[in-house]
Amino acid sequence: MASSPSAAGPTRGPWYRPSLTKQILLGLVVGCLVGWWMSRLAPATKAGWDEGMTLVRDIFLHLIKAMIAPLVFASIVQGIAGTGDIRKVGRIGAKALLYFEIVTTAALVVGLTVVNFIGPGVGVKLPASAAALGAAAQNKPLTLVETLLHIFPTSFLDALARNDVLQIVAFSVIFATAVIAAGEAGKPVLTFCASLTQVMFKFAGLIMKFAPLGVGAAIAVTVGHQGLGVLLNLGKLVLTLYLALVIFVVVVFGAVIWFAKVPLKAFVRAVREPFALAFATANSEAALPDAFANMEKLGVPRGIVGFVLPAGYTFNLDGSTLHLAVASVFVAQAAEATTGIHFGLGQQITMMITLMLTSKGVAAVPRASLVVLIAALQSFNLPLEGAAMILGVDALLDMARTSVNVVGNCLASVVVARWEGEFDDKKAEANFGDAAFKT
């Protein structure tokens, strides 16, 4: 079994050698303080510090992204071809997609309920123009036909070069099926993929040693640019989204954990490092290698982890979907104060259905949530100035929705494994149970 990239094991070390989770949390705190200090510097001095912090952050993220394509490819091929069962692949895929659709629909319902109850956009004055949107307004979400076509790459090397996870998954599944069909001739390929998976986990282990530094630099850049005072400008919107996400995690994820009999304490311990990485960097890819390793250590078979986690990047963006519900209704509420036109519940539900469909087609679009939001606002004749206003606190919103996306995909892999009858409770207890975490 592949070792975790986060540590040799979960056993606590001496107080002066904290676990990676504690190091990441410490990096978050120190990064916030450094960012606050940077925001108070003179512009010339601040620019130099900002350049240095951005460099550290980007180096860490680049190294993380460099391992994603080979890790996803090797894990899927080894997991699927290792079973030798083509029908199982289709069954896992169908179950994963059904689960994705149910949970993302629940995310829309929670977002719609909370934003209407709190009303963060009521009385908000919209800015005069939407110029701040920049090039993002020129993009558009993919249509259903374009989304389906985009799944299948014209060149596997091109998909690898662009880190297009969805295309890598599609190619890997078909390739793994071919490896099964090849019989004896496919065994060397399977052996190579097994070795490549092990090597990539070791590669991840080396990179993760620098995670606290990369996380600290990432949060320092965010706070340095926005300042802690950014919470005062659109604080009600930020708090509304965070509250909605907390309710969603507690109620929806809690219900899923209860129904699927997921070991709660072990699951929380397994996802806390990927969660912290995603929150600090606002980048799901930064958490993917750690999530891969920890879900496998939790007891999810490699084939299911390799399929469900990458597929969830397109079809199971729980946090992003909930954010779209909150942000779009926020703009509608703010527009009502300006235009006097009421955006009723029926129109909101229609817009939620539209968002449920269009949010599935943004895998290859930069600033995906913003692009989908702009498209929805245009479709329902709502002012784009609202999106420009939200852009001011998008970094804070992105941190929350991205981390929930990661947790949601980790939970999906456990649910599908349990659904298949392949979740290993003994492994979960051995690696993340109370005995494993004793000093």
Q: How many domains does the chain have?
A: 1
**Can you say whether residue 317 is alpha, beta or left, with left for phi > 0 and alpha for psi between -120 and 50 degrees?**
beta
The pLDDT tens digits of the residues spanning 416-426 come to 999 989 899 99
Residue 3: its pLDDT value, please?
Answer: 41
Q: Are 303 and 83 in contact (CB under 8 A)?
A: yes
Q: What is the DSSP letter of 89?
A: H
User: What backbone torsions phi and psi does residue 15 show, to the nearest 5 degrees?
Assistant: -60, -30
pLDDT: which is higher, 236 or 436: 236
Average pLDDT over every residue of 318-335? 86
Structural domain includes residue 8: no
User: Between these two residues, 280 and 365, which has the higher pLDDT value?
Assistant: 280
Between CA 180 and CA 85 the distance in angstroms is 8
Compute the C-alpha angle 311/315/320, nearest 5°. 120
Q: Is 273 helix (H, G, I), strand (E, B) or coil?
A: helix
Instruction: Note whether residue 14 is domain-resident.
Output: no
Choice between 92 and 123, residue whose per-residue pLDDT is larger: 92
The answer as to whether 342 is a domain residue is yes
CATH number, domain of 75, equals: 1.10.3860.10
Model confidence pLDDT, tens digit, residues 388-398: 667 656 777 88
Question: Would you call 155 helix, strand, or coil by DSSP?
Answer: coil
Residue 3 belongs to a domain: no
Q: Is residue 363 part of a domain?
A: yes
In a domain, 7, yes or no: no
Find the domain containing 347 and state its range: 20-437
Query: So what's the pLDDT on residue 364?
Result: 40
pLDDT at residue number 270: 92
